[in-house]
Structure 1
């Protein structure tokens, strides 16, 4: 039985009215397919085009522009961050199944919405700025819009990177496979890659906006499409030039490191069974790697789930094995700061003494600490497998080792490029990252590895990555993964990395391109506004 004709017409009318939202949602989802683990990175170069066209071409209200940007952001961040639902079920922590589901969905919704707000603000503000520009079709106006749109996005993303929630930046859609393009990060950090993606999308959008349909339909302006293609090729050639530089491997800077992937399930990690298995796996792994002749051994985040204090140390087999084998260990454990705990990485010497401690700076909201604890504390207190009263370390920490200064990132910190840049500028010669991704779905370890690939390229450093359940790995300064572990397996690996003291432009000057983008965009807007006002006065 077919539906009445008026009902079909009403349905078509409603779909037509909501067509822009359907288009931006679909294009946002396309962008969400670009990051790891799916790695359809090429989609990132076209997925923003519909939102650009809607912001520029159609004179929508500010409220409509905000909604369109929000929907695009939900499509992108919602898909890219869907791995966070892997924290469900948390019944092993004593959380009711339905309560666990509610917590997982709340976290997914909140972090998705936070990223989507950035896109909403961009679409709203950019759309309003475009209304103030001359409504003519020429290269100068198109270039002005490209400069302004790119500057605005980079400014907002830079602002978001200063906050507690930051992961799915546009730049990480290119990692770990588009290594040539990622080398632009050596110039001015990950926002250089973001600017490249925005610029190419913008010119494709301008090619559609400025198409001609006088005699027969032409779906794109060929000149602008050539500019988009030329920009895409040029940027990749610049990146390839940086990527193609040979890596020096002087024997004097060689460092043989060992990695232990302990594979301790979160379901038992904080209980007696987990403690015993951790001591067994890390003690045996350390001993095997020491016998292989490594200079140092790296363990994952909170590999030993207790406070690294003198009484706790001397009572466990791991510490006694260090004294016997006399090989440096980088131990992930809980530190102390007053009455609180810290998520720390310790350098333990062969004589058992602790040389240095790094305390995690970027704590996970709702996992390692509770924002607005007064209101959310009782509800969220059981979310994290770690205690929620962890204290963050200072942002200006340095981590000295017997082999020189290291750059350290613990888990979530891999998303914060400035965190690694500052340590490289302070003399860090190689990267150590320690993580525990067992809380989430398998997509998360893949994205986490992709983040570390970017940090290795930007700082021009070798990176050693140890995780509890995967992916552990070795990444060279060109972002090439020399080794990557499997998921949910106990693994040991030894490899040679090389200490480096080079300083990329990004390490030396930080994100210096974004302010230039802002100046260029502001100049373009002021110039066009002045010219528009002058033309209006001359007409009167």
Structure 2
């Protein structure tokens, strides 16, 4: 084993192995959903970078290979924006934009892996684990560092592919660990299992091999975590008639190629008006439309003669309308509560804008390049992170499109009294993989918050998800659909909702104590 690992670590094949294991992590998400690979896909990278004698430069190369495999595959749906010839963008320029976006977001995700490898190399250099306890301490440091990096990345605008994300939407038992301390709980669990197996393999290459009993640690941990999650999954929801809310969803299916042109506007107004009337006839209390369902500013002048506004006045039923509003001289991507009298009851402005689509990150550096390559107006104004969205049925938790990737955004609204989640999205400009991954993000948010979630998208997948993450209904892709269903308002608060990401602080404290203890001994 010792000679095999040493030969592999110093051979060119090591980069292929690292890339393949990163690709394996990528296969855990849509469209493959091989979530079980998440529990082993980090092992090769861990073993290779911790192998004695591997240079710092080589370790960084292995990190890049792993990050490119994971983030490059999982985020490849971004290339679905090509071609943009319908916007007047030349075919080659459109391809350049798509490839640049893919490269940029892959690189950004890979920076997490690079930072983690740097930290692991520094730790191994100064601590030099040789005993079983020291190896467990390195595992603790490794999983703490990974979770800390994910938490730091979540403070920014480019955030999607966490380790926790690899288990959604099908490993519901593990997803329920998110009720304890959010995505950190799940990422820490995955990193711990991978790390313990990796350290067992590394120890096999030493003169003092650990007992086979050591291997029972990761196996036992994995099984125990699934059992804990399964027990949370079995908790009864106890819905009552008093908390029931009948909601309707309209999936308008307006292709982006026509959405902003007269044909698309006409089709949108007709489709959403007809869908609203159909759902009202089915007895719903409110109707949810997708992100920018009616892609114009919903002001007095524009809404006065809108058939959708007239339908609301006629049917006297609440609508949650995706449209544009204004913030000073800039537009906002908004969701409005419109009551039966046609008035705006509440407004939510999208907080997390899509990089390169709705705003330009590092605009001073990238602004001129993007503006030369694309005619997109990438300058929407973000909403306040402290927004509250009250409705005639109680306080709601809201996310528009990219907001779904940020668990703390939903946690804050839940802690503020939100009783159910509504999300509105438009995924029409990406490949079919992206809507499936977006649904997986919302499943995580439903479980973490212990709330029912209603999802309306332009072209799919719209859906209803219960607080246990079970998809009650999901739409087709690229279809016009309406759906009526019943959800239930809830006032429970999970440990994550009450205390936030407390586990990360505990892990950091334990890791610090472990380092001090090793230095003293």
The two structures have a TM-score, normalised by structure 1, of 0.93
Question: Displacement, 1:16?
Answer: 6.5
> Counterpart of 1:9?
none
Alpha carbons of 1:132 and 1:183: their partners in 2 closer, same or farther (altered >3 Å)?
same
Q: What runs of 5+ residues in structure 2 fail to find an aligned partner?
A: 1-6
Alpha carbons of 1:260 and 1:385: their partners in 2 closer, same or farther (altered >3 Å)?
farther
Aligned with 2:17 (options 23, 30, 34): 23
String of CA shifts for 1:58-83, please: whole Å, max 9, x gaps.
33233222221121111100000000
2: CA distance, partners of 1:15 / 1:516: 34
Aligned with 1:442 (options 412, 424, 432): 432
> Within the alignment, does 1:170 sit opposite 2:163 as a pair?
yes
> Counterpart of 2:109?
115
**Maintained 8 Å contact 1:83/1:444:** yes
2: CA distance, partners of 1:135 / 1:350: 67
> Counterpart of 1:132?
126
2: CA distance, partners of 1:221 / 1:350: 70
> Within the alignment, does 1:480 sit opposite 2:473 as a pair?
no
**Maintained 8 Å contact 2:8/2:14:** no
1: CA distance, partners of 2:21 / 2:197: 14
> Counterpart of 2:196?
203
> Counterpart of 1:157?
150
2: CA distance, partners of 1:502 / 1:201: 33
> Within the alignment, does 1:503 sit opposite 2:493 as a pair?
yes
Aligned with 1:460 (options 446, 450, 457): 450
Alpha carbons of 1:55 and 1:521: their partners in 2 closer, same or farther (altered >3 Å)?
farther
Q: What is the Cα-based RMSD across aligned positions, in Å?
A: 1.8
String of CA shifts for 1:438-489, please: whole Å, max 9, x gaps.
0100000000000000000000000000000000000000000000000000
> Within the alignment, does 1:228 sit opposite 2:241 as a pair?
no
Aligned with 2:77 (options 70, 78, 83): 83
> Within the alignment, does 1:266 sit opposite 2:256 as a pair?
yes
After superposition, residues 379-390 of structure 1 pair within 5 angstroms as 379-381=369-371, 387-390=377-380
SS at match of 2:248: strand
> Counterpart of 2:139?
146
Aligned with 2:423 (options 433, 445, 468): 433
SS at match of 1:54: helix
> Counterpart of 2:3?
none
Report which stretch shifted further, 312-321 or 380-389. Answer: 380-389
After superposition, residues 273-288 of structure 1 pair within 5 angstroms as 273-288=263-278
String of CA shifts for 1:367-412, please: whole Å, max 9, x gaps.
0012343453344248889732210010000000000000000000
2: CA distance, partners of 1:357 / 1:429: 17
2: CA distance, partners of 1:501 / 1:189: 18
String of CA shifts for 1:280-310, please: whole Å, max 9, x gaps.
0000000000000000000000000000101
Aligned length: 515
The two structures have a TM-score, normalised by structure 2, of 0.96
Question: Displacement, 1:248?
Answer: 1.2
String of CA shifts for 1:482-537, please: whole Å, max 9, x gaps.
00000000000000000001000000000000011111111111211222xxxxxx
2: CA distance, partners of 1:69 / 1:528: 27
Aligned with 1:308 (options 298, 312, 328): 298
> Counterpart of 1:417?
407
2: CA distance, partners of 1:442 / 1:351: 38
**Maintained 8 Å contact 1:301/1:436:** yes
After superposition, residues 46-61 of structure 1 pair within 5 angstroms as 46-61=40-55
SS at match of 1:256: strand
**Maintained 8 Å contact 1:297/1:328:** yes
SS at match of 1:204: helix
SS at match of 1:121: helix
Q: What runs of 5+ residues in structure 1 fail to find an aligned partner?
A: 1-12, 532-540
2: CA distance, partners of 1:383 / 1:345: 30
> Counterpart of 1:535?
none
